[in-house]
Structure 1
Amino acid sequence: MSARLDIVIPVYNEGPNILATLGSLRDNVRTPMRILICYDRPDDDTLTTIDANRAMLQGLHIDYVRNPGRGAHGAVMAGFAASTAPWVIVLPADDDFNGGIIDGMVAKAEQGADLV
């Protein structure tokens, strides 16, 4: 399955939040997707939290993208550079409530909307 959507999630020590966000994506998004976790430092607790809970996240295609710089802007730009899908969404690491609108956003984009 080829991803039609890449979801770029910039992170910095989001271990306490990331599982709820990823769970929301798993439970709500049906568009074939890849999740790009964009981080600055290899000791970021987001990465260890995801790795320790891979069984719970089964079915999600999650890739790590190292930000060569620092900060949220650099992480988002690194995610864009790594993206290969026709559509890209940037999602905050603590956003566990908007998963339900993502399929509709992709549908609008595919229908030719100028902005979603």
Structure 2
Amino acid sequence: MRPRVSIVIPVYDEGEAILPCMERILRDVLLPSEILLVHDTPDDSTVPYAEKIAVTDSRVRPVLNTYGPGPANAIRFGIDAAQAPVTVVTMADGCDDPRQIDELARLVERGVVVAAASRYMPGGQQVGGPRLKRFLSRWAGRSLYLFTRVGTRDATNSFKAYDTEFVRSVGIESRAGFEIGLELTAKASRVRRPVAEIPTIWLDRQLGESHFDLGRFLPSYLRWYRFAYGRRLTMEQLAARKEHRDRQQPIATPTLEQIH
């Protein structure tokens, strides 16, 4: 049976810490789904645990990212490998609430191209995390919501659901880190496609160490923050932008052997 939602989780040396995260996702996601645990190298410490889970639950698929190292490439690979019409991106750190994956997916099924889990709308909250990162994220989200009408107060949050075909049509240009959520929200806004949000409570990770490097990823966030303020575009213009980029940087689509 074809899944209704593909859940893409980039992993990087999560080790045993992946187990409680996966336990919650497998318990709380009720829609027919596939879960792609995307790792950069075969010797990633997450792989043995991911393979063990996959033996007991056919929804889980550890997949090797061949697009290049880093979270942006892992997410791009996962979305290209997704088999469902809806793709949800969530993190392996347990900060996101997996009970909301079904709700986000259903919003996309109803017609939005991006459904965001928002920490900054009424009912949402962020608990813990670096203070500067919280400030910049909140400021970016609120200013974009007020001045560009992007449809969410939390454009920078990675926890989002996407119309898979929309993402493949407009392409993903991000190569650095976790700015993909902002990129796709900004692109949806520029082509006037619907974006929706639901409140979420984000809890700082309890196990393992964060791999988010604000200094390294900030320039990429600023690029897409500025992009969101541009004039209206058509889908054809975004598609042409994607085709031009693909000619310059051709990347093979994941094969079935890589996915399984």
TM-score of Structure 1 vs Structure 2, range by shorter chain: 0.7 to 0.9
Please state if 1:112 is matched with 2:111. Answer: yes
CA distance in 2, matches of 1:60, 1:95: 21
CA distance in 2, matches of 1:54, 1:32: 16
Q: CA contact under 8 A between 1:24 and 1:96: conserved in structure 2?
A: no
Q: CA contact under 8 A between 1:13 and 1:45: conserved in structure 2?
A: yes
1:60 Cα deviation from its structure 2 partner: 4.6
1:97 Cα deviation from its structure 2 partner: 4.7
Aligned sequence identity (%): 32
Q: Which has the higher contact order (CA 8 A, sep 6+)?
A: 1
TM-align CA RMSD: 1.8
Give the TM-score of the pair, scaled to structure 2.
Answer: 0.41
- Structure with the greater alpha carbon radius of gyration: 2
- Output aligned runs, 1:73-92, within 5 Å: 73-92=72-91
The 3 A distance-change label for structure 1 pair 34 and 53 is closer
Give the TM-score of the pair, scaled to structure 1.
Answer: 0.87
Q: Find the residue that maps to 1:45 and give its secondary structure.
A: coil
CA distance in 2, matches of 1:54, 1:80: 19
Matching residue of 2:162: none
Please state if 1:24 is matched with 2:19. Answer: no
Unaligned runs of 5+ in 2: 116-260
Q: CA contact under 8 A between 2:88 and 2:105: conserved in structure 1?
A: no
Unaligned runs of 5+ in 1: none
CA distance in 1, matches of 2:113, 2:49: 37
Q: CA contact under 8 A between 2:87 and 2:105: conserved in structure 1?
A: no
The AA in structure 2 aligned to 1:66 is L
Question: What is the CA deviation profile of residues 1-48 of structure 1, one whole-angstrom value per residue up to 9, with x for unaligned ones?
Answer: 221111111011011321111111111110111011111111111111
Runs of 4+ in 1 over 2 A off after TM superposition: 50-55
**Higher helix content, 1 or 2:** 2
CA distance in 2, matches of 1:65, 1:53: 13
1:76 Cα deviation from its structure 2 partner: 0.6
Figure out how many residues of one structure are paired with residues of the other and give that number.
114
